[in-house]
Amino acid sequence: MNFLDIISSLLLFAGTFFAFSGAVGLFRFPDFFTRVHAASLTDSIAAILMIAGLLLQTSFDLNTAKLIFILVFLLITSPTASHALAKSARHGGLLLFTEKPTKQGGTNQDD
Amino acid sequence: MNLILDYYNYWIVVFLMMTGFYIVISANNLVKKVVGLNIFQTSVFMMYISMGKVAGGTAPIVVDDNTLYSNPLPHVLILTAIVVGVATTAVGLSLIIRIKRAYGTVEENEFEHEDDAI
Amino acid sequence: MIEWIDLILLGMLALTALRVIFLKDLFAVVMLFGIYSFLSALVFIVLDAVDVAFTEAAVGAGISTVLMLGTLALTGRTEKENTHSKLLPILVVSVTGAALIYGTLDMPPFGNPDNPIHQHVAPRYIEDSPKEVGLPNMVTSVLASYRGFDTLGETVVVFSAAIGVLALLGIRREEDNNTPESGFKEHRVLQIVAKITIPLVILFALYVQFHGDFGPGGGFQAGVIAAAAFILYGLVFGLAKSMAVISPMFLRYMAASGVLLYAGVGLFSMMQGGNFLDYNLLASDPVAGQHYGILIIELGVGITVFAVMLTIFYAFASQTERSNIQ
Amino acid sequence: MTTIFAAAAIAILVVMAMALTRAFTAPTVYDRILGVNMFGTKTVLFIAVIGYLMGRPDFLDIAIVYALINFVGMVAVLRYFEYTAPIE
């Protein structure tokens, strides 16, 4: 294990930690909007950390370019998807957990 | 124990196949039937790919000499089968849309009782 | 290690398939089917079939999900209560499953290099194709050269699927511009991000098309990825704008010309005095001839698959838009 | 280094399993989509890591396709909701 390997494993470890915390947030937060917040933030930071960890393992070649492409693509699309999802959830009538449910009720069971 | 190690892959694939089969024959809704058909189809693909795997081998793209590669032949067959599979799925789904327009329903037990059923 | 990952992925697949049985909400069924496709592509990667994983991820998870959602928008979202007896299907399924599992006991063990399947044709491909065809990706060599005739058949099947969908659904063109503007009106962020992403995706499709000889990829995958870029455009900006970029009529010519390009290479090699699709005669050097042949027929496959996928999307989307307006 | 990659791969698999559970048992439709989306992005990272674990990192193309298809799928889902109200 040389110096680069140690840095890269630390980055990978941090990335998986954030990914895991995001997944826990998916279950533990009280309403949809807080859950989407947890999921989208940790998605981005996990992608940055893990791909940085992998980047340290490549020599400077095509794989480096591909990893950077993946990172850029994820950083553009993943927050956009979360934003659009949260927006259409708001338009679709989901309520924050602090808001009082209206007559019809704010939650939805779909099973 | 050896038996399980040798065959677990095939067994799970058979299980998936049967799940897809069950959805196809038990579901009422035609869209769900198509999903079941796709699950069945994908598990057949997995069966082929499992047969082509060589333990300790690597993907059949040349790196250097004296490397053990997995069998490329099933990959070729399945690659084209996947594209043909989505083409047939598209035809099936468009048939469903036509059925919906002609009978007003896509539940198979509902147009059995209609008078205008063929 | 890899075996354990394989086992975990297969377990997740089994759970997903089981969950699909009990769901009545068809939207959730389609979502889980998308996950199922993604998971099976992962299994393909673990089992060394990278080209197959590439195709399954693009085709199974992408195009199939989009088409199923389009169908659901027309046919309704919930499955009605099942009136069938559950007993007979369970019986049939367990008997068939037991027979199949009994059958697997006679199969050679999983992953053993001495299995009969690895003794016959495959060694020839693995040992000779890098020399005879000169490409590192054996799957592309076998697909486009050794089994080129087979692949021509598959391309024709894909082409005829487009004909089938067009015959069943047809594509409605919006003649009058009075129809309500489709697309996301209020999703401004999505529109801008889509504008940034689409060129990147098309660039990536071209890379997959022409790098497919050296890494995973090829005409089938590239066609689907390029179609996905235009599908994204159609979804975000509306079908009318997408049809203004590539008209359905042009797509029909494209689909046909791809097949013709493929078959034309075969006829050309016959005129050179060889067999149908014998690329050795396309250039003075056989290996260079193989290169030219594979490049051209992969291009033909890519064009056909792109045009067919986009035509199918147009057909489905014009159905949904029409019913939405009514 | 292989052990580190293996550990990272297993950890991402655990996260994927949690996202899958969320997609199985979601309280609202949107939670289900969120689970599916999270599953997709974690899969991209999983493929990247597993490429290094298997010693063939030149298969990162598949990760790119996953990222792309995940996005297209999300847009298709949101588009579908324009036609059918998600809350009945």
pLDDT tens for each residue of D32-80:
899 999 999 999 999 999 888 888 877 888 899 999 999 999 888 888 8
Residues in chain B closer than 8 A to D58 (CB atoms): 61
At B54, which CATH number?
A: 1.10.287.3510
Please indicate whether, in this complex, the C-beta atoms of C45 and D69 are within 8 angstroms of each other. Answer: no
Mean pLDDT, residues C185-205? 87
Residue C145 is predicted with a pLDDT of: 84
Calculate the alpha carbon distances from C93 to B41, C99, C100, C279, D34 in Å: 16, 10, 10, 47, 34
- The reply to whether C215 falls in a domain is yes
Residues in chain D closer than 8 A to C325 (CB atoms): none
Angle, in degrees to the nearest 10, between helices D29-53 and A62-92:
170
Range of the domain at B43: 2-103
Report the share of chain C in percent with pLDDT over 70: 93
pTM of the prediction? Answer: 0.91
- Residue A48, amino acid: I
Residue A107 is predicted with a pLDDT of: 47
Are C216 and C302 members of one domain?
yes
Q: How far is B10 from chain C (nearest CA, A)?
A: 7
- The reply to whether B36 falls in a domain is yes
Which residues in chain A land under pLDDT 70? 1, 100-111
Please indicate whether, in this complex, the C-beta atoms of D15 and A20 are within 8 angstroms of each other. Answer: yes
The yes-or-no verdict on residue C177 having pLDDT over 70 is no
Q: How far is C7 from chain A (nearest CA, A)?
A: 21
Please indicate whether, in this complex, the C-beta atoms of D64 and A66 are within 8 angstroms of each other. Answer: yes
Per-domain residue ranges for chain A?
A: 3-91
- The reply to whether B89 falls in a domain is yes
Number of separate domains in chain C: 2
Kindly state whether C1 is in contact with chain D, defined as any CB-CB distance less than 8 angstroms.
Answer: yes
Among C34, C65, C80, the domain boundary falls at C80
* C:174-233 residues touching chain A, CB 8 A cutoff: 186-187, 189-190, 193, 196-197, 200, 204
Low-confidence winner among B89-98, C172-181, C197-206, C228-237 (lowest mean pLDDT): C172-181
- The reply to whether C206 falls in a domain is yes
- The reply to whether B112 falls in a domain is no
Are C196 and C291 members of one domain?
yes
* C:227-266 residues touching chain B, CB 8 A cutoff: none
- The reply to whether B71 falls in a domain is yes
Kindly state whether A97 is in contact with chain D, defined as any CB-CB distance less than 8 angstroms.
Answer: no
Please indicate whether, in this complex, the C-beta atoms of D15 and A19 are within 8 angstroms of each other. Answer: yes
Calculate the alpha carbon distances from A2 to A5, B11, B73, C108, C142 in Å: 5, 43, 41, 43, 42
Q: How confident is the model at residue C158 (pLDDT cuts 50, 70, 90)?
A: very high
Our answer on whether B and A touch (3+ beta-carbon pairs < 8 Å) is: no
Please indicate whether, in this complex, the C-beta atoms of D55 and B59 are within 8 angstroms of each other. Answer: no
Please indicate whether, in this complex, the C-beta atoms of D78 and A84 are within 8 angstroms of each other. Answer: yes
pLDDT, one tens digit for every residue, chain B (118 residues): 677 777 888 899 999 999 999 999 888 889 999 999 999 999 999 999 988 888 888 888 887 766 788 888 889 889 888 988 998 999 999 999 998 888 888 887 776 655 554 4
CA distance D9 to A88: 33
- The reply to whether B67 falls in a domain is yes
Residue B92 is predicted with a pLDDT of: 93
Residue D87 is predicted with a pLDDT of: 45
The yes-or-no verdict on residue C175 having pLDDT over 60 is no
Residue D80 is predicted with a pLDDT of: 84
Are C250 and C319 members of one domain?
yes
Our answer on whether C and B touch (3+ beta-carbon pairs < 8 Å) is: yes
Q: How far is D19 from chain A (nearest CA, A)?
A: 6
- The reply to whether B114 falls in a domain is no
Q: With contact defined as beta carbons under 8 Å apart, do A16 and A35 qualify?
A: no
pLDDT averaged over every residue in chain C: 86
Residue A103 is predicted with a pLDDT of: 47
Are C70 and C179 members of one domain?
no
**For the segment A55-85, what is each residue's pLDDT rounded down to a tens digit?**
988 888 888 888 999 999 999 999 999 998 8
Mean pLDDT, residues C226-253? 90
Residue B116 is predicted with a pLDDT of: 53
Q: How confident is the model at residue C156 (pLDDT cuts 50, 70, 90)?
A: very high
Q: In chain A, which residue's Cα lies nearest the Cα of C207?
A: A66
CA distance D78 to A85: 7
CA distance B80 to C56: 10
Q: In chain D, which residue's Cα lies nearest the Cα of A82?
A: D34
**For the segment C19-50, what is each residue's pLDDT rounded down to a tens digit?**
998 888 888 999 999 999 999 999 999 888 88
Range of the domain at C313: 137-326
Number of separate domains in chain B: 1
The count of CB pairs under 8 A between chains C and D is 123
Q: How confident is the model at residue C185 (pLDDT cuts 50, 70, 90)?
A: low
